[in-house]
Structure 1
Amino acid sequence: MSGLRIKSPRLLVAESGADLEGHGLRRTLGLFQLVCFGVGAIVGTGIFVGLSDSVGHAGPAVVVSFVLAAITCVLTAFAFAELGGAIPVSGSSYSFAYASLGERAAFLVGWCLLLEYGVSMSAVAVGWSQYLNELLGSVLGHELPAALSAAPGEGGVINLPAVVVILLAALLLVRGVRESARATAAMAVLKIAILLLFCAIGFSAFEDGNLTPFSPAGLGGIGAGTTAAFFSYIGFDAITTAGEEARNPRRDIPVAILICIGLVTLLYCAVALAAIGAIGGDEVGGRPAALSYVVNQVTGSSAGGAVIAFGAVVAIVSVVVAVMYGQTRILMSMSRDGLVPRVFERVSPKTATPVSNTLIVAAVFAVPAAFSSLDAVVDLTTIGTLATMAVVNVAVIALRRRDPGLPRTFRVPLYPAVPLLGIAFCLYLMYETGPAAWLQFGVFLLVGWLVYEVYGRRNSRFAATADTRGPKGGPAGGDAGPDAGAVPDAGAGEAATRTAEAERRA
């Protein structure tokens, strides 16, 4: 077991300062802000843009697809709630894997989180560009030229609006987490109000006949629709990345996760029923900016569609902010451990935010947003997210066995059935993404493994400090003895001092 480099949960919490103030991060987020942050991370491109793809696969049975996708998320949300309350640090799934499965698995989880947060940020920005054009067309009568608002494969040259929204989100985040939380909360409330308005308009024209045939493509269509619908839920686990900036993370993080999943599921099912009941599944399926189209058809005017487009523009901005926040906090945790360069852990003393980290993330993921289509990244993002969620369910089981006495403010009900079902649902939806997505994901994981072996394994601060303590790994290191060949980095002395202090607190 020594080669696994497993870091105890208590050491993770103590090193991060999560019981105090985490490396310059300030505790400013309460339960309401965490719920708004979760809603902000979830509700966006998936429902405003992706609904049409889900309906195209499943027809009116897309409601069943949304429920099945929600069940997958709920099963895993229990796991996130237990681990987020027990290990309230910024690393989310990465830190949970480090505490239960070891450093190599943790690095690969962090690598997969580049898909869930970074690449999905690019996908969300592309969806924002579509609704911005819809809004400009409704209000001004003119859209941006395709050359400046679409990817090369879709008749354009560069998607400038997608780049702009990523840069705006970065500027908001570097101002401070309090300001970002306020903006995200305001946008979350607005987007829910807009979707409720859509439901009111759609149900006013509801016709039972539009729901038949209910499942035109049968179970296969529902399965494909579930995989497509799952993209609409990506981001709920971003709440766990706020572990070091929440005022009471052990209590509030589990509650916020479960509230978000329940609220979003009800909202999505209502929106899907309203859209299909108003104009029929054939009209909704495969149509860009579908919600605006539905309102225009029902009201006979472009004004209502413009309101929905405005709501989508605001909604998707909040998603970009939330997922960029999550990505920067995960990279910060990985940087503290020496697995990625140290620039990602630096916090500005003025704004208490990782400014360099945020700007690098924005610059890197603005590139696929500028030159890729939405369809090109959705399946890869989905399979990466599902793989991470499956690992989190495994982590719950592993940590229950490894550290049964760890204080847990929330426990997964019906253990171990719930995490095992969570794993099964995740694997099923991964299977439904298709061979092309699996091939892309396999290549992506191979690259991640190589990066770990070449850089992460040799620069691990945990391995370096374990070397300074001797082969037993020290009192807080658990089973985490050093790998053969681990090379202490230049920050080993600082890391050793910090770890020693953390062990005393742990």
Structure 2
Amino acid sequence: MMQSRIKPLDAILATAEKHALPRSLGPVQLMLLGIGAIIGTGIFVLTAAAAQKAGPGMIWSFVIAGGVCAVAALCYSELASMVPVSGSAYTYSYAVVGELLAWMVGWALILEYAVAAAAVCVGWSGYFMGLIESSTGLALPAALSAGPAWSLSGVDFSHGLINLPAIGVALAVTALLVVGTKESATFNAVLVAIKIAALTLFIALTVPAMESGNFMPFAPNGWFGPEGTSGLGIVGAAASIFFAYVGFDAVSTAAEETRDPQRNVPIGLIGSLVICTLFYLLVTMGAIGTIGAQPTSLGVQPGSAQFARECAALAAQGAEPLVCSDEALAHVLRAINYGWAGNLVGIAANLALPSVILMMLYGQTRIFFVMARDGLLPEKLATIHPRWKTPHIVTIITGVCVAIAAALLPVGQLADISNSGTLFAFFMVAVAVMILRRRDPHRKRPFRTPAVWVVAPLAAAGCVALFVNLPFEAMLVLPVWGTIGLAVYFLYGHRHSHVGRGLIEVHEQDEDAPQPPIVEH
């Protein structure tokens, strides 16, 4: 039976025992780890898209997304502390709900990481081109600095043809990963400090300049968007903003290195989420309060052909609202005559975002690597380069696919597609926690999800609620991608699976596995 194909949890734990790490992290260290991992990509690149969806009401969007993340994080932490090995939600699912669903989770994680990397590439491109134009007056033609606008009704190439800077950064980071890199912890700490300093500067300059009139009307698209639309309104923006919180798993997976995990893990998780949410709210209020955040017109999706035409018309008149900006935070500062600060924020984004792309690409190749080692994908994909000691084949394949997506899709649509995979994976983690509590209630749990029969259903329901409020096109991607995944599984993975063939050795942490660059989201 398919469901009997469960990777033995005892074998996984036996492997983890061989690589046990000292428990040295306290709540403050966990909180700092979480803040460094969470703050970054989303707030720099998605503020404009969220403003188009919800207007000033996107303030509530951050609160909703942060709440769903909090309950999902508590579920994630229990499994991370029980199964402290590589593979993330894929490995957890394999040990709890079996091979087929684990395959689907792993397949969704591939979608999450690769598309998220493409989204960050597009976000970096906007800040890079904005910084170049502000500093030198030079600019690439629109056709070469932005991809086309997409919708179910067709593709509009009038806004752009291909995003060359996004291709460049995607391929550069891929080359770096192929050759191999281990950034120093000090360098990582500097990048985290740069991100936080940039947001602090933004808050300090914009909050005092807020005007109450810019917050009205507060929710122009309502809570769920105009009738007949999908992915708009405050809840639709929350489904997109969820992208800004991904990274909290850095705290969850550190459970095995934490002193008194039952106490310190929730402090680290909830503390980092609360601090990040406060940062996000202050940044959002500063952006809205200074120049406003009204949609170009109601019921129009960011990234759509109509949206691109409206923004182009406004640009021709010399007016670029927040919702149309490719570098939202720098744009706000320049609009209120702090050009120097806008350039500093642009420099911060240019420095910090490539490290995010690197981690996203690494995460994707690591999932590929573990799935190939389990026999579910061709083991050739897990081949380690003899000189560079990296999985070069799968890294190159991933990098090329990311570059193509970044070249042709806008950042908001990429983030929504990535979120569809993330939400499915987190939903499965919440389900797995409940199943394992019933099936194996006495197994050692270094961290136990508090009020699990309330928290886990809330996490699952929250993930479903955000998923159904994504734009229809983004929702459609997951079943289409999943169908492709099922075809791959039954044509290849089902027959070659190590567990299916009775090979239960677990070796995710063998010394030949690719090692991660030490950088944060």
TM-score normalised by length of structure 2: 0.80
Matched, 1:293 2:339: no
| 1:156, distance to aligned residue in structure 2 (A) | 3.9
Change (3 A) 1:182 1:356: farther
1:104-159 C-alpha deviation (Å, 9 max, x unpaired)? 00000000011211111111111111110011011122123334322254644432
Q: For residues 394 and 29 of structure 2, what CA distance do their matches in structure 1 show?
A: 23
- Residue 282 of structure 2 corresponds to 270
Q: 1:198 aligns with which of 193, 198, 202?
A: 202
Q: Judge conservation of contact 1:51–1:272 (CA < 8 Å) in 2.
A: yes
Q: 1:462 aligns with which of 499, 506, 512?
A: 499
Q: Judge conservation of contact 2:48–2:326 (CA < 8 Å) in 1.
A: yes
Change (3 A) 1:113 1:231: same
Q: Which runs of 5+ in 1 are unaligned?
A: 467-476, 478-494, 502-506
Q: For residues 382 and 142 of structure 1, what CA distance do their matches in structure 2 show?
A: 34
1:331-368 C-alpha deviation (Å, 9 max, x unpaired)? 22212211122244445687665444434322332221
| 1:266, distance to aligned residue in structure 2 (A) | 1.9
SS in 1 for 2:501: helix
Amino acid paired to 1:66? F
Q: For residues 68 and 442 of structure 2, what CA distance do their matches in structure 1 show?
A: 28
SS in 1 for 2:16: coil
1:219-276 C-alpha deviation (Å, 9 max, x unpaired)? 2222122122222223433666789xx8669959777654543332221111111111
Amino acid paired to 1:222? I
- Residue 517 of structure 2 corresponds to none
Q: For residues 180 and 241 of structure 1, what CA distance do their matches in structure 2 show?
A: 20
SS in 2 for 1:104: helix
Matched-pair identity in %: 39
- Residue 63 of structure 1 corresponds to 59
Q: For residues 487 and 460 of structure 2, what CA distance do their matches in structure 1 show?
A: 26
Q: For residues 170 and 182 of structure 1, what CA distance do their matches in structure 2 show?
A: 22
Change (3 A) 1:161 1:360: same
Q: For residues 9 and 389 of structure 2, what CA distance do their matches in structure 1 show?
A: 25
| 1:164, distance to aligned residue in structure 2 (A) | 2.5
Amino acid paired to 2:275? L
Q: Judge conservation of contact 1:36–1:188 (CA < 8 Å) in 2.
A: no
Q: Judge conservation of contact 2:62–2:241 (CA < 8 Å) in 1.
A: yes
Q: For residues 175 and 442 of structure 2, what CA distance do their matches in structure 1 show?
A: 43
- Residue 305 of structure 1 corresponds to 342
Amino acid paired to 1:7? K
SS in 1 for 2:63: helix
Q: 2:322 aligns with which of 284, 293, 301?
A: 284
- Residue 11 of structure 1 corresponds to 11
Change (3 A) 1:321 1:82: same
Matched, 1:225 2:229: no
Q: Judge conservation of contact 2:206–2:290 (CA < 8 Å) in 1.
A: yes
Structure with greater helix percent? 1
SS in 2 for 1:463: coil
SS in 2 for 1:6: coil
Q: For residues 19 and 101 of structure 1, what CA distance do their matches in structure 2 show?
A: 23
Q: For residues 483 and 219 of structure 2, what CA distance do their matches in structure 1 show?
A: 39
| 1:379, distance to aligned residue in structure 2 (A) | 2.5
- Residue 160 of structure 1 corresponds to 164
Q: Please show how residues 209-248 of structure 1 align to structure 2 within 5 Å.
A: 209-220=213-224, 221-237=233-249
Q: For residues 359 and 405 of structure 1, what CA distance do their matches in structure 2 show?
A: 44
Q: 1:189 aligns with which of 164, 188, 193?
A: 193
Q: Please show how residues 381-460 of structure 1 align to structure 2 within 5 Å.
A: 381-460=418-497
TM-score normalised by length of structure 1: 0.82
Matched, 1:323 2:360: yes
1:34-93 C-alpha deviation (Å, 9 max, x unpaired)? 877755554334211211121222222211110001111111000111111111111111
How many matched pairs? 464
Q: For residues 467 and 158 of structure 2, what CA distance do their matches in structure 1 show?
A: 27
Mean CA deviation greater in 347-356 or 449-458? 347-356
1:285-326 C-alpha deviation (Å, 9 max, x unpaired)? 34331211211122x242221111112222321221221222
SS in 1 for 2:452: coil
SS in 1 for 2:461: helix
- Residue 117 of structure 1 corresponds to 113
Change (3 A) 1:364 1:58: closer
Q: Please show how residues 335-374 of structure 1 align to structure 2 within 5 Å.
A: 335-347=372-384, 353-374=390-411
* CA RMSD, Structure 1 to Structure 2 (Å): 3.2
Change (3 A) 1:257 1:95: farther
- Residue 140 of structure 2 corresponds to 144
